[in-house]
Structure 1
């Protein structure tokens, strides 16, 4: 399906918000809420429902399998309309902690799944079918209790690792964007404040959305925000419905001043002609913008694009322009993921050279930015 310029401008690239706009107003105007009955009775669920009193409420047996929403191929054409109008409330039932070792030591039970944004390379839609609105898990009390127990059993972190030298790090945003989630409920605020009470642990999440309400959370150095960045032109095409790159960069000093540890997430690195010059300009912009305090604590992670054939087919239905950059069979090879799925990544050998070249560019412009990992 080809999207006309008018549709592209309306659905993919909404107008810039005014200063008075609430954080998600331009992205999410909830008109329908699917909810598990128990979620509607929970205090956090009642609070969220009160925020959207005019929204239609539809009770469902499971937040994971909603007839007509998940797995419905016809929803591809309504991809962004659904993201911008639909919210799901559910109960988190499985309290599982998965070892990670890169962005974090552990992936804890998530307090949300899905996103109001629509980055063309996002992996979450692979698991949720053809529509991927936000699901908020309202039983944050159970999630936090599980986190306290898990961290308590670990005890102190006795040996530094690539994740952090002092704390066990939990990625609380691996299935969503916490900056956007914070505009829907108090779950993220509660998580940030929880980590200030855990002597051996800190939280972490990557974000492509600037929500200045988070500046009031008083994280006390116990939450790491990783601002995801790529060259401006690529972000306009691939980072759909997100905060502009310049806005993310401009926010870094403020979040450091507010008590967050702020890292950079160069992800995904997408290879096109002239990519070196684009990233060199991005690094120079960062060096010119960041203050001394931000630079002193700065680190980054570098992740080259991994794509997925099923997601490629879905994307062709709503954003084929992005696939011209993401789907490059002449540069990519098949890779079986840890979950058993078939993905594609840049070819072995070539990718190693690309990683080395990227790090050299970064070191020339930003020698103070420590590389936590790159692959």
Structure 2
């Protein structure tokens, strides 16, 4: 039987953590966990050197607590207008294609930042400097949208602390901005956060058989779909994130069945505000080697040099993407299929 998503046995913490109320709250929530002081949440060699064959252990039983130092904002223009300073980093889940794992090269358990008041205040100041959004764009017609969970999954972070609740509350008071995060975890606790339409949740979906293979330690796709109307009734704006689109024989039939299920289950109130992102798979040579040690079956669909080409990333890593020309054709076929099955679902962004 599968164990719990989180069973925290050890907590690495920076010296300043206990000076923050949120840090003390989290430590009190896990009183039996071993506490291991570290100089920096970024530099914990034993996490980077863990046996890749035991890739999941650190995700389940390890937590890192730190103080967010940099509060910089980055323009985005895809999922959001801006990437906000993160309240966390890392994830308890283990999606085989995860770009965070690809970039960091190790299991990367959750790191939570305890200075949430500073993070929320920095977002409010940044939004105030932007003023009203002058023109609609593909991100949002009215509000500046801030991605809050670029390097993790906030639905899981909400199991650890009230950071996510605090961020949702903060956006209720920012008249020209929304928060946004993607998730693959169904957390009923989010339903009482009272977002009042000021937080967008992007529910990540793929065909169930593919998710069972690739979305390790996530909520089943059927549960994610059922949660969408509940989140909308609770006051969230809910969009879809079809990501990544992984090509294999029969992929169109699999996605067509998923679109039909969504069409059957989603109420009109959700359909009337629905939009989606579509992101084709990008894989990575380093992550391929890590996956071979703990989940080689995933590589049968992720590592496809016969239909992929290599491209150097900005950081010098070797990425694999579907071949130029063919990728565009497959993406158009995906969009045509979506338009035929779910014509009300606007595509905000496709890559």
The aligned length equals 351
CA distance in 2, matches of 1:305, 1:364: 23
Q: Given that residues 69 and 75 in structure 1 are in contact (C-alpha distance below 8 angstroms), is that contact kept between their aligned partners in structure 2?
A: no
Q: Given that residues 105 and 287 in structure 2 are in contact (C-alpha distance below 8 angstroms), is that contact kept between their aligned partners in structure 1?
A: no
Give TM-score, length-normalised by structure 2: 0.98
1:190 to 159, 166, 169: 166
* Equivalent position SS for 1:316: helix
**What are the residue-to-residue correspondences of 1:322-361 with 2, within 5 Å?**
322-361=298-337
2:101 maps to 1:125: yes
**What are the residue-to-residue correspondences of 1:305-324 with 2, within 5 Å?**
305-324=281-300
2:12 to 20, 34, 44: 34
2:105 maps to 1:105: no
2:25 maps to 1:43: no
Aligned partner of 1:365 in structure 2 is 341
CA distance in 1, matches of 2:23, 2:105: 25
Q: Given that residues 79 and 318 in structure 1 are in contact (C-alpha distance below 8 angstroms), is that contact kept between their aligned partners in structure 2?
A: yes
Unaligned runs of 5+ in 1: 1-9, 16-25
Shift of 1:340: 4.3
CA distance in 2, matches of 1:131, 1:341: 18
CA distance in 2, matches of 1:339, 1:367: 39
Aligned partner of 1:7 in structure 2 is none
Shift of 1:273: 0.2
Shift of 1:373: 1.3
2:116 maps to 1:140: yes
Q: Given that residues 285 and 317 in structure 2 are in contact (C-alpha distance below 8 angstroms), is that contact kept between their aligned partners in structure 1?
A: no
2:175 maps to 1:199: yes
| CA shift digits 1:132-175 (9 cap, x unpaired) | 10000011111112111111111000100010010000000111
Aligned partner of 1:173 in structure 2 is 149
Give TM-score, length-normalised by structure 1: 0.92
Q: Given that residues 307 and 344 in structure 1 are in contact (C-alpha distance below 8 angstroms), is that contact kept between their aligned partners in structure 2?
A: yes
| CA shift digits 1:93-130 (9 cap, x unpaired) | 01111110000000011000000100000011233332
Q: Given that residues 105 and 170 in structure 1 are in contact (C-alpha distance below 8 angstroms), is that contact kept between their aligned partners in structure 2?
A: yes
2:41 maps to 1:63: yes
CA distance in 2, matches of 1:130, 1:178: 20
CA RMSD of aligned residues (A): 1.1
Shift of 1:77: 1.7
